[in-house]
Structure 1
Amino acid sequence: MNRFVEYQIKIFCWISGIALICAIGILLAFLFYKGTSSLNLSLIFGKTRPLDGLFLNTEVIDGLFPAIVGTLLLILTSIIWAIPIGVAGGIYLAEYCNKKWKPVFNLMLDILAGIPSILVGLFGFTVSVFLHKHLSEHIYPCFIISSLALACLVLPYIIRTTEQSLVNLPFFIKTTGLALGASRLQNILFILIPYNLSHIISGIILAIGRCAEDTAVIMLTGVVAMAGIPNSLLSQYEALPFYIFYISSDYNSQEELMRGFGACIILLSICVFLFALSYIVKRKAAMRFATHT
């Protein structure tokens, strides 16, 4: 390649990287500039005493605490639904799927990954209406419908990450357990999955971020304002993305808008905390497997 062209490409890459960092920095600076002034205990607990609200002795009416708890519970529940199905699906595509059917399943997975979240939310809403009519009149759009819809939304991340991590394994790793007399299932469960655990967790990290930020799905499947902390899977609930949406689109004062920016900072902090926690687990898993091997 011409040295001048190579130099131009390198300059373009540097400019692109710097532009990306600047864009993120400007966004974060604007967010913190607008929202820092509203960050206090009253934003989270309102007029309720913090300890009473934290230990659920008193219901928090005018604070973000129910939305924070609802968001965390929604992320946790969605990931619990998605992990077993996603990992099992990735194992099937990598180890068991017939070569003739694999392109079909990959196409279906790509379609699922490309479906707009509003359509997933509409599907969840339709399911809740069907269950209300044919199963029980007490079933409405609720927490479990939202969590299952979000699980469907993030399944492609976990399936694809698991599949690719298994497919790209070195041949000697794939055959080690089989050479020692292990069955195919034992080889997958006790050698391939532990070896790939850090890569699988990378897919889970992506899924966590998608669950935390999505608004379209939960708008149609159970989130409402002033619902409080959900006390069952069939309860309606509050969530930070929905609070940010409705407070920014229908605020009555500048103070309410600032509370929306404060909620953005809290949601961002939750995502950073969950990403950091997942990264620590990923590192620990990789180090533990390395020491045992």
Structure 2
Amino acid sequence: MKTYRIFSLFCWICAALPVAGMVGLLGFLAWKAGGSLGVPLFFGDTAPLDAIFKFAPVWDGIWPACVGTLCIVGLAGLTAVPVGILAGVYLSEFAGGWPRRVLSLCVDILAGAPSILMGLFGFALILFLRHTLAPQANMCLLLSGGCMGLLVLPYMINATASTLGALPDELRLIGPSLGLTQWQAIRNILLPSAGRGIMGGVVLSIGRAAEDTAVIMLTGVVANAGLPRGLLDRYEALPFFIYTTAAEYRDPAELGRGFGAALVLLGLTTALFLAAGLLHRAMENRWRNGA
């Protein structure tokens, strides 16, 4: 009994450590940010409504960096989520023998690739295009989003394949018993049942795409670029703003803005996580009501 109590106490302490670490991190950032939190942190001297609706330039705020970060996350999601889900379905339900082993190996290698390597890939791709097909090619938002999508693609593939593979055999028998084809059974039974695990891969992908700096440094992010005017334009992003501020700040107030931007990045990532969770709940309720 005494051993059980000690083990239970140890489990409680281990469970409390991540919560304590998160609370401590948020408190540290809020303390360091000081008085920098507020409307001027986002828009500087520009009127907020002008910056949002009239696209007025913002020179001393992080609003363009917030928009650029959201664009990167959106492009990475558009690239990685559909391809990752379809590849995971193929890996779990269709592949067998050597194709399965080769695809699994490629996914594992891609998952182990460091982010700086993905940035170098994008940089080398632009150099190749400049010397061959597109002499005017340059680093841009589209390139960063594509490279970021490739970076988070293994999360989606592994999450989809592992979740589908863990479904019970009884669930797989429902489709044939109802006269459904394999694809109909996957679309109407297996994928909705695996939705929670797949959404976990989406959440991991969102977090990685929102915080990574190495990829965007080599594929298009710059300081003071303003709002991106298109997919082929340069842009700003919160991770790069935090990096440059920490490396080149000139006074404590500027460093405080960097801490404020870090707090905003955490809040933005949390909001994206919550949005993904709400989307999954809505899809799950719709599937249950339809069933």
Structure 1 counterpart of 2:87, one-letter code = G
Equivalences, count: 291
- Stretches of structure 2 lacking an aligned partner (at least 5 in a row): none
Give the stretch that moved more between structures: 7-16 or 249-258: 7-16
Residues 7 and 106 of structure 1: is their aligned pair in 2 closer, same or farther, counting only changes over 3 Å?
farther
Cα root mean square deviation, aligned: 1.6
Q: Which residue of 2 aligns with 1:213?
A: 211
Paired with 2:5 and 2:205, the residues of 1 have a C-alpha distance of 38
How many angstroms does 1:274 deviate by? 0.7
Q: Which residue of 1 aligns with 2:195?
A: 197
Q: Which residue of 2 aligns with 1:266?
A: 264
Q: Which residue of 2 aligns with 1:98?
A: 96
Paired with 1:26 and 1:120, the residues of 2 have a C-alpha distance of 32
8 Å CA contact retained: 1:198, 1:285:
no
Tell me the TM-score normalised to structure 2 length: 0.95
How many angstroms does 1:7 deviate by? 4.3
Paired with 2:179 and 2:13, the residues of 1 have a C-alpha distance of 54
Q: Which residue of 1 aligns with 2:11?
A: 13
Give the stretch that moved more between structures: 236-245 or 223-232: 223-232
8 Å CA contact retained: 1:195, 1:289:
no
From 233, 237, 240, the counterpart of 1:239: 237
How many angstroms does 1:216 deviate by? 0.7
Paired with 1:25 and 1:268, the residues of 2 have a C-alpha distance of 12
Structure 1 counterpart of 2:17, one-letter code = A
How many angstroms does 1:16 deviate by? 2.0
Q: Which residue of 2 aligns with 1:290?
A: 288
From 160, 163, 170, the counterpart of 1:162: 160
Spell out, residue by residue over 1:254-277, the C-alpha distance to the aligned partner (whole angstroms, 9 max, x if none).
Answer: 111000011111111111111111
Spell out, residue by residue over 1:190-220, the C-alpha distance to the aligned partner (whole angstroms, 9 max, x if none).
Answer: 2222232232112111100100000011011
Q: Which residue of 1 aligns with 2:277?
A: 279
Residues 91 and 29 of structure 1: is their aligned pair in 2 closer, same or farther, counting only changes over 3 Å?
same
Provide the secondary structure at the position in 1 that maps to 2:61. Answer: coil
Query: Percent of pairs identical after alignment?
Result: 41
Spell out, residue by residue over 1:30-49, the C-alpha distance to the aligned partner (whole angstroms, 9 max, x if none).
Answer: 01111141012111111111
Tell me the TM-score normalised to structure 1 length: 0.94
Provide the secondary structure at the position in 2 that maps to 1:279. Answer: helix
Q: Which residue of 1 aligns with 2:47?
A: 49
Provide the secondary structure at the position in 1 that maps to 2:187. Answer: helix
8 Å CA contact retained: 1:248, 1:257:
yes
